[in-house]
Amino acid sequence: MVQVENEYGSFYACDHKYMKWLRDETERYVRGKAVLFTNNGPGLAQCGGVEGALSTLDFGPGTSQDIDGYWKDLRKYQPNGPLVNTEYYPGWLTHWQEQQMARSPIEPVVTSLRYMLSSKVNVNIYMFYGGTNFGFTAGSNEQGPGRFIPDITSYDYDAPLDESGDPTPKYEAIRQVISEFFPMPHRPLPSPTRKMSLPSVVLKPIDSLLNKQFLRKIASPEIQNLTPLTFEALNQYSGLVLYEALLPTNLKSDPMKLTVEKVHDLGYVFVDTNFIGTLSRQNPISSLPITQGIGEKLQIIVENQGRLNFGTPNDFKGLVGNVFIDTQKVLNWTMTGIPLDNVTTISEYIVLKSQLDKVKSLKRARIHQGTPLRHGPMAFYGTFDIARIDILDTYLNPSGWGKGVVFINGFHLGRYWPRVGPQITLYVPRHILKSNMNEIILVEYQTIKAPFMTVGFDKSPTFN
């Protein structure tokens, strides 16, 4: 089977010419060697389907009456052909700042599955195994007060197999239902893989992301423009962008009012490298007071928290639109991209400094553990050995830190944000670890851990 479109019926266009063109373009490569199909939510096949491609549906657990209604509605559009639930949802995704991880009870999942199989419906489970949104691959959704809510790094999804690939009670229940309809292999259920804990690792500060010497090593070249440019205009996929401009000197109000038309998605505001406050898309905050006379240069570090998974908006990142001090537009910006997609540059900077103890002592006066970073996001570094023969999966625990990203041996584990949760730990697959020296680089945006700058490694995941 080859899919022509996905959930096109959910969008307003309902362009049948487009669907026919896409079907024909797909068939040009398939050449009759596979079944073409489309997938839509219940009741949306009329706009999301196309003649010559099998229409399938996606939905989660429901009553037998609900499920029968979905297929009855589909038969109005497609009288014949197999019934297929292309995405049967056994769980759901989770977002940062939600109260707890998304969890779906087992009983409704297996009851609906049993009903569909007894009705000769073909079922594909999404997700059977979710895994992890490593690096910057976690997305976001258009909901909440700011019409934006970012996904957590874990894509556990409450799926039959958990984030590490281990079977869950839901897996066993689904397996039992399937065995009622199909022959099963005569082999025991797989056992959960062993996990390991490790001693805490002490991290040393490297430098602030507002330090120009550090930026020259890890960032893209500066770009000047009259108005702020988005990540896309800067040809940057994710990470951070530093926006800098001079504050106007002709204003008399005190405090002055900083207003940003749109910040996508989180903006850390500084004046002459001194922290002022945070702008947020998720919790709509678009303005901050700035005291007269505290400095000359306005600096805003904008974080891309993840692109929208679903919907029609062009999700541009960065400072989208104009920036004002009171009613005066701020012009003549310098932008520096900090993509954080090549941690090798940070490692090379550590080697260049070569005197970490000196760096640590220089920074100690500027770092107050447990309080916000007052002089910009900061990179930290640590190493550890694994004193065991069998290296196992583990979970990095950044409890006590604020928000940021972490790398182990150059591999980007993803975003952490234990202050809000519900995800606390980050899954660490054993394949990225080694018995001799392992390197951790952590880029912290907000807060230093107190009383010690450490991260832990646990045998099991922690969620709020």
Active site residues: 7, 87
Residue 370 near residue 273, CB atoms below 8 Å: no
Q: CA-to-CA distance for 175 and 32, rounded, in angstroms?
A: 34
Cβ-based neighbours of 169, under 8 Å, separated by 6 or more: 106
The per-residue DSSP string of 85-114 comes to EEEE-SS---BTT-SS-----HHHHHHHHH
Decide if 414 contacts 405 (C-beta within 8 A).
yes
The answer for residues whose C-beta is within 8 angstroms of residue 358's C-beta and 6 or more apart is none
Q: Are 459 and 196 in contact (CB under 8 A)?
A: yes
Please tell me what DSSP assigns to residue 417: -
- Count CA atoms within 13 Å of residue 205 on its CB side: 27
- Which of 315, 316, 323, 318 shows the shortest CA–CA distance to 260? 323
Q: Report which residue type is found at 38.
A: T
Helix, strand or coil for residue 224? strand
- In Å, how far from its chain's centre is CA 187? 37
CB proximity list for 119: less than 8 A, separation 6 or greater? 67, 71, 83
| Residue 241 to residue 223: CA distance in whole angstroms | 11
Q: Which of 261, 221, 262 is nearest to 242 (CA)?
A: 221
| Residues 353, 350: Cα–Cα separation, whole Å | 5
Q: How far apart are CA 417 and CA 444, in angstroms?
A: 10
Q: Is-contact 90 127, C-beta < 8 A?
A: yes
Half-sphere exposure of 293 (CA within 13 A, CB side): 3
Pairing of strands 297-303, 223-225: unpaired
